[in-house]
Structure 1
C-alpha cells in the first residue's frame, strides 16, 4: 500500500492521482496538489522505495503500475492521473494495462522510451554522506558539494534528520537504475484523452518520439511550457497548474 496525501474532498469531479519522479515524494507536489484541490479530490502518492511508502527489492515500471492500480482501485472510481518523469512512465504503463481505471492522463516531460543518461551521481552523493555526523540539513549539504545546488536541495528533502536516514531505498534504486531510465515493452493502448506536457527547454520529449507515442496513446495532445526544463512543475508552477487544469476541465 503506497503512502498518500489527500487534498480536498470527493465530489462529482473525477479525483486526480499524482505520481512523482525519481528521488521525489508526494510532498514535492503539495503546493500544486492543494491548488488543484479547489475543484476536485487530489491524491499525491509516495512511490515505492520513496518517502513513507514501503521498500521493496524491485523497482520496475510493471511493479510501480501495479502499485498505482491498487491505489486507484481503492478509490472505487476512475480517476485522472498525472505523472512526472519516472511517475509519468509508471502512469503510461498503468494506462495501457488498466485503461478502465483512468479517465484522463497527463504525462509531464517524459516519453515511453529508454534514455541514455543515468541517475547514479545523486545516489553516489547521498550514499557518501556520513549520516552519523548529521544534526541539520546543512551538515549533509556540506558533504554534497559535487552536486548542483538545485539538485542538492531537492535530494535533501528526502533526508530524515531525526532518524538520520534517507527516505529513499538507495541500494535498490541503484540496482534497478537500468530499468528506471529504460522503458518496458508494452502492448495495448490507452484511448482516453492524454496530454504530454513538456518543458520548452527540455529535451526529454522530442518530435521523433511522437511516432512511438501515437500508437500507444492515439488521442494524445502535446503542449510545452516556455522556458521550463525537466522540472517544469517546480520552475513554472503557475503555468503548469493552469495547463493541467485547462486539460482536465475540458
Structure 2
C-alpha cells in the first residue's frame, strides 16, 4: 500500500542535504502527518524530511492493520520516493511500525528514534476510545466548536482532543475521515507486537524516549529493548506523558535534533 507523504527539504541546499539519509516522521494512533508539521519544518532546515500518513490515517488508503503490513507499506512508499535508507522517528504505533521495519529490513534504516513505545504488547484505553468514537452520531451539520463539545466526553485532554478534531470532516455531512472501523477492528494487532524470530536484531543507532508520567515503557520491557536494539539509548522527557511531543515539544525537538545530528547517516 502506497502511503500519503508530505515532503519538505532545506530551503537552501547544503553540502549534505542530498547525501544524508532523509528523516521520516511517523505519527501514532489517531494521528496524521500534518500533526508533526512543527518538527518537520525545524528538521527540514538542514535535512530532507518526509512525514507519512500510515494506513487508515490522514490521506492514506484504508485496510486491515498489522505491523508486518505497515512495515511493508513504509518500505514500498520510501522506495517510491527514493528515500532509502532513512532515519525513522516514530511515536507510539508509528514507533512499532518503524521497529518492525528496522528488524525485518535493517538495511533500509540508518538510525531509529522511538517515542514512548516498547517492542511489546501495549494497551491503555485505545480500544475503548475507538469504540466510543465509532458510536458518535453526527448531526447534519457540524462546526469546530460543536465538534469539540461532542468529543469532550470521550477525550478530556484539550491537546489530545484538538489532535482528534483533525480526523473529522466538518460542515455538511460530517464524519470521520480516517478508517475508524478498520482501526477498531485491528486494535488487537495495533496493541500487539509481531513475532520476531530468535536472533533478529537491529544494530544501528537507536534512541528510546519515554514520557515521565507515561505507563507505556515499563521496567520489564528493557530486556527486550536491549536484545532487539543492542545499540540503543534511553531518555525520559520530564513533564510529559504518552503524547510527549505535544506535552513537552521543546524537549522532544531538542532530543530529536541532537540524535539526528549525532547519527546523521
Task: Tell me the residue number matched to 1:117.
Answer: 124
In 1, Cα distance between the equivalents of 2:161 and 2:259? 32
1:168 aligns with 2:178: yes
Q: In structure 2, how many angstroms separate the alpha carbons of the residues matched to 1:177 and 1:87?
A: 14
Q: Deviating runs (4+, > 6 A) in structure 1?
A: none
Give the SS at the match of 1:234. Answer: helix
Q: Give the Cα–Cα distance (whole angstroms) in 1 for the partners of residues 69 and 118 of structure 2.
A: 18
**237 and 63 in structure 1: CA distance in 2 versus 1, 3 angstrom threshold:** same
Q: Secondary structure at the match of 1:223?
A: strand
Alignment of structure 1 residues 28-43 onto 2, 5 Å: 28-43=35-50
RMSD over aligned Cα atoms: 1.6
Correspondence for 2:14? none
Structure 1, unpaired ranges of 5+ = none
Q: Deviations over 1:77-117 (max 9, x none)?
A: 31100110000001000000110111010000000111243
Distance 1:118 1:201 in 2: 16
CA shift digits 1:210-245 (9 cap, x unpaired): 101111111111111111111111111111111011
Does the aligned pair in 1 maintain the 2:134–2:181 contact within 8 Å?
no
Count of aligned positions: 249
2:196 match: 186
Tell me if the contact between 2:122 and 2:192 (Cα under 8 Å) persists in the aligned partners.
Answer: yes
1:247 matched residue in structure 2: 259
| Residue in structure 2 matching 1:21, options 17, 28, 32 | 28
**Aligned partners of 2:116 and 2:210 also within 8 Å:** yes
- Supply the distance in 1 between the matched residues of 2:192 and 2:141 (Cα, whole angstroms): 34
Distance 1:227 1:141 in 2: 25
Deviation string, structure 1 residues 8-28 (Cα, Å, up to 9, x no partner): 145222210111100000011
Structure 2, gaps ≥5 residues long: 11-16
Is the partner of 2:151 in helix, strand or coil? coil
Residue 61 of structure 1: aligned partner: 67
1:56-205 matches, cutoff 5 A? 56=63, 58-76=64-82, 77-147=84-154, 148-150=156-158, 151-162=160-171, 164-187=174-197, 188-205=200-217
- CA distance change for structure 1 residues 75 and 145 in 2, over 3 Å: closer, same or farther? closer
Aligned-partner Cα distance in 2 for 1:122–1:2: 25
Q: Note closer, same or farther for the CA distance 1:248–1:63 as it changes in structure 2 (3 Å cut).
A: same
How far apart are 1:182 and its partner, in Å?
1.1
What TM-score do you get using the length of structure 2 for normalisation? 0.89
Distance in 1, Cα, partners of 2:148 & 2:133: 10
Distance 1:232 1:171 in 2: 27
Shift of 1:209: 1.1
